[in-house]
Structure 1
Amino acid sequence: MTAFIIVCVAMLVAALLWMVLPLVRAPKTGDSTELASYRSERRFSGIAVALLVPVLAIVMYAGLSNWDWKAVQIETTQAANIEQAVSGLEEKLKQNPDNLDGWIMLGRSYVAMSRYPRAADAFQQAYDLSKGQNVEVLIGLGEALALTDEASLTGRAGQLFDQALTMAPNHPKALWYGGVAALRQGNLRLGRDRLQMLMAQNPPEEIRGVLARQIQDLDEQLAASGEGAAPPAQTAQPSAVPAAGRAIQVSVSLSPQLRQQLSGPLPLFILARDPSAGGPPLAVQRHSSDSLPLNVTLSERDAMIPSRSIATVPKVVVVARLSRSGAPQQQSGDYYGEAEYEFGKNSGPLTIIIDRVVP
């Protein structure tokens, strides 16, 4: 932008010299009175041109140009403020290098400023302080390394995302980078499963479209390679019921006391979990509080990961939860109800009343 302004000023000065100099030059011959009058008129014309042309140029450019001067000023001010804030944070960390949150904030700031190697250094400091037990640090360091060198997805960055997913299996950013890392390593099945888990978290429509196309492409590649879209065989638990066609009829309602507290519709997540193990749900559906009371059928087709469905366990806990934040992960203040279902023992619909609040 500065170079553009300098070129414009130079061109304007050249144009003015080309127009003004002939006007201020007086002819060498002629009556002295006429010559003086001529010189006066020419000088007046030269001064008028010298003043009016720049003013006219500025007015026309400001009126006709689509350049957003205000936005440029705001961006410049914001950039200066960010630089100042980051410099201040760097000084504070020099005085207090054991400030874990400070290193995390500095790493995120560097990522936002596209200074990825510095971001990796900051997150490495946080990694050392947290001894590799902080999920956000693992993901931040992995992201900074991947943005610095994409090849690290097959090395340390990929390992960091794997570690993060063992601690937080549903973390969206870890699922995205972990899926990309798995695909870079040639593990199509794992990459596809991680992207499918991310899809189940109801991302924005534009991201959902990208994920859907990617998952479809991976399904085709898996089918072409002979693996197919179906999950690989699993070793069943001794008491597990055979995996064919399992489904659970669930009847969900909301208690009158909690219904009075609703000021608008909330997302309703109905999911089945393995009570003996952690990890993502074995089946999940998304609805709305407006549809309560509601009857649904949870089946193997509602699995987030094809290799982990309600067909692989003898018993599940079914949870119906109204998310006040809109996120699929449970958070304080959510409304929920739950009930246990054992295959081969329970029959008929499972009744759940949402009458509790997550502390």
Structure 2
Amino acid sequence: MTMLFWLLVGLLILIALAFVLPPLWRQRPVAAADMDKRNIAIAKMRLAELQEQLQSGALTQAQYQEQRTELELALGDDLDIAGTDAVSVQGRWMAYVLLVAIPLLAVSLYAGLGTYQAIEPTPEMLAAAQPAQPNIEDIKKMVAKLAERMKTNPTDAEGWMMLGKSYKYLKQFPKAADALAKAYALLGDQPEIMLQYADALAFANDEQMAGKPAELVFRVLEREPDNITALWYAGMAKAQAGEAAEGVKLWRKLLALLPPESQAQQEVKRLLSQLEASLPNGVAGGAATATGPAAQTPAVALEVQVSLAPELKASVAPTDTVFIYAQALSGPKMPLAIARKQASDLPLAVTLTDAQAMMPNMTLSAFPKVKLLARVSKSGNAMSQAGDLIGAVEPVATSGKSSHTIVINSQVK
């Protein structure tokens, strides 16, 4: 690559010299005929002057003849001079100077200002060219400054909206819900703020849509029946409430509104099929039969032994919350079954079953394999946060009864 770079440099310098040097180097011949014409024209003018002087008495006849003879001799001498020699234009010396100066100047400037290694960048250069990832601590500082500013400007609805979204990004959902509640009070029933508020409330309540979140979502649907986000939340709310048939109707409508073959549509299809499988025979258009997956799936009971790595014991308080839960290997991270304990109980043992599911259609029985996790949370929030301690084991088969061991041995980044 370095050789290629210098070849390109040389080519560009040659192109520059091709424009600059020829005009300086080239000789400009002056044709002999042109010089003769010029000398004759001058002689005629001088002869006319002599004749005028003779007529005016300024010259005698003898003086006139003498000067005319001299003029004729001078003209003869001029016409005998060889006029075919080329007359060089002064400046050829500049061609030599530029021939050396242009390459030298180009290389010197690029050596000082350019980076020829960029034609073959090193891993370090590529890493430096990548956009810097935002530092979580910097984000927290900016969010804290925004929170302080909102104390002195409590009527700034957009500020509360931004603060609520920022808290959601940091997974501080109770604070997000409080900020969005203030924005909602100022903005009123606007679909965007209503859905943001409902989402924050649900996450602050272990992802449960019951109550205020569901109320907000269905009020949005009254205003905008085809709102995609509202249809998603509404279907989830119905499923969590045990009204699977209503949830199926909402998600079928959502499915028709999503772009064909999009990732979102594929995900909704998968979840919709699971929700339909939980319906009795003939319900919601015969989506499931009596011999479907929900009817045939045997009960699942996963025994889980949880312990804490010795090197992390000093960083855990007895009152810290411990969540033991199962997740699908792919797709939504909503727990399929979850148990809540305290760090003082460690080491501990729990059994995860379908009875601990957060949604009727999202159960252990609906998945052949799952991921088991145990997490220590100082905030008590069911959502994973930076600084939590965690351990996991996967994949785990859900068929029959089995026992598994989880060691909490790492920190969430």
TM bucket normalised to smaller? 0.3 to 0.5
Query: Could you state the TM-score of these two structures normalised by the residue count of structure 1?
Result: 0.45
TM-score, normalization by structure 2: 0.40
Task: Name which one, 1 or 2, has greater alpha-carbon Rg.
Answer: 2
